[in-house]
A = this chain, B = another copy of it.
Amino acid sequence: MKNKQIRFSIIIIVACSFCFPGLILTAQQRSASLISPEVKEDKSVIFRLYAPEAKKVTVRGTFQDPIANIEMARNDTGLFVATAGPLASDMYVYTFIVDGVRMLDPSNNVVVRDGSYIESRLLIPGDWAEKVIGVRDVPHGRVSAVWYPSPVLGMNRRMMVYTPPDYEKSNVRYPVLYLLHGAGGDEEAWISRGKANYIIDNLIADGKAVPMIIVITNGVASVPAAPGERPLQMAGVNVGSPMAMTSGKFEESLIKDVIPFIENNYRVQADPDHRAIAGLSMGGYQTQKITNTNPGKFMYIGVWSMGLYNMFGQYDKEEHIAQLKELKASNPILYYIGCGKTDFLFKGVTELRSLYDELGFKYTYRESEGGHSWNNWRLYLYEVAQMLFK
């Protein structure tokens, strides 16, 4: 029987190499027999790329702070190798630069995307990568791509909705977290890079967070959806265009289109005590704009890696102070400001905190290691989710 199985295997391997497109031997597949990235026992990492005709290969990624090119050493056969770490358990992203051109690691079949940043994934084992942000064998909620009408923006738009594991079987109404991405990103970023669904799955399984719905919108008012999910004629629209970022239309649409759609179409606790909003970078800007102009709408607020928005010409300090006084009077249960120590927006965050301190507006401040990165945004989601709706 064993022999028969081995014979089958050989026949099938040969047959498959010829028969199935996923298995045809190509340059890409040849590289796939290399192991890259290889994580060693001590959590250091070896990157490998077979590129016999290349002159220079470097690797760069978010495992460095600041990010810089690491030159890879070439051996006699044309294999380029570099080592990094030991690294803390987490998810990082990286790319190779081959003779000046940036590319994915062809040996790594996991790619994550944040807008036009399409990069190879590196997972460093350990509690954080495996138990906090990783896929565990626990009940998983559903992640759905949902289209909804946006009369404010004059289009149908796409968002990602996470419903917790027991949603379909229960008759319970759930609280909702609205989660916003950064500039250049779209409604897929919090799933692809943010691991939001697995972070919440794990927290719920561990009894550390209450089951909740998470709504992840596309924060760019000029487009309906991520680039691959748009009509062809909209494929070229610049998702990071400045007017899209500061038009105020997305913020209006979240209040007038998104929240009513969710509250009419899902079993939701539709009151401020069960409504949270948080965003990173551009999404932190939008979170401020939305909550400053809608005091009392959200009792939980997270502003991550974004400070005072006086860098945008429209800033009006008197108006901002008047809004913050109203927001303060609405008495939010949590206002969580998160920022990395090396974040280039650190100064703006300090300015924002000073203003809040001046006004006696209370907030929770979380200063983490590192900079303007998904490593921090996943951390803030993990921490904030445990404080919500309790």
* Chain A residues proximal to chain B, CB less than 8 Å: 4-5, 7-9, 11-13, 15-16, 18-23, 26-29, 31-32, 49-56, 95, 97-104, 106, 109-118, 121, 123, 125, 129-130, 134-137, 139-140, 142-147, 155-156, 158, 168, 182-185, 225, 227-232, 235, 239-240, 242-243, 245-246, 265, 281-282, 311-314, 344-345, 372-373
Inter-chain contacts of A21 with B (CB < 8 A): 114, 117, 182-184, 281, 372-373
Chain B residue numbers with a CB within 8 Å of A53 are 55-56, 99-101
CA distance A231 to B185 in the complex (A): 26
A101 in contact with B142 (CB, 8 Å)? no
CA distance A15 to B225 in the complex (A): 25
Using Cβ atoms and an 8 Å threshold, which residues of chain B touch A49?
Answer: 101
Asked if A12 and B245 make an inter-chain contact with CB atoms under 8 angstroms apart, the answer reads yes
Residues of B with C-beta under 8 A to A147: 139-140, 142
Most buried by B among A129, A140, A282: A140
| Interchain CB contact under 8 A, A235 and B183 | no
Least CB separation from A95: chain B residue? B28
Determine if B145 and A100 form an interchain contact, defined as CB atoms under 8 angstroms apart: no
Q: Which residues of B contact A114 (CB under 8 A)?
A: 21-22
Partner pick for A109 among B7, B28, B227, CB 8 A cutoff: B227
Contact present for B130 and A231 (CB under 8 Å)? yes
Contact B23 A183 (CB under 8 A): yes
Interface contact B109-A11, CB-CB below 8 Å: no
List of B residues within 8 angstroms of A227 by Cβ: 109-110
List the number of copies, as a whole number: 2
Contact, CB under 8 Å: B100 / A54:
yes
Q: In the assembly, what is the distance between CA of A377 and CA of B8, in Å?
A: 28
Given contacts A21-B184, A21-B281, A115-B22, contact A97 B27 (CB under 8 A): yes
Bound-state CA distance A26–B95 (Å) is 12
Q: Can you report 28 residue pairs joining A to B where beta carbons are below 8 Å apart? A: A8-B246, A12-B242, A12-B245, A19-B281, A19-B311, A20-B182, A20-B183, A20-B240, A21-B114, A21-B117, A22-B185, A22-B240, A23-B183, A23-B240, A26-B102, A27-B97, A28-B102, A54-B100, A55-B99, A98-B98, A103-B103, A109-B116, A110-B227, A110-B235, A121-B228, A125-B232, A134-B232, A140-B156
In chain B, what residue has the closest Cβ to A184? B22
Say yes or no: B16 contacts A245, CB within 8 Å.
yes
Q: A143-B145, A235-B110, A344-B19 are in contact. Are A8 and B313 (CB under 8 A)?
A: yes
Knowing A183-B20, A240-B16 touch, does A106 contact B98 (C-beta < 8 A)? no
Query: Are A135 and B229 interface neighbours, CB within 8 A?
Result: yes
B142 touches A345 (CB 8 A): no
Q: Which of A19, A52, A168, A313 has the most CB atoms of chain B within a 10 A radius of its CB?
A: A19
- Within the complex, what minimum Cβ distance (angstroms) separates A326 from chain B? 25
Query: Which of B9, B54, B112, B232 makes the CB contact (< 8 A) with A130?
Result: B232
Contact B184 A23 (CB under 8 A): yes
Contact for A281 among B20, B51, B103, CB less than 8 A: B20
Complex alpha-carbon distance, A16 and B51, angstroms: 35
Most buried by B among A9, A102, A230: A102
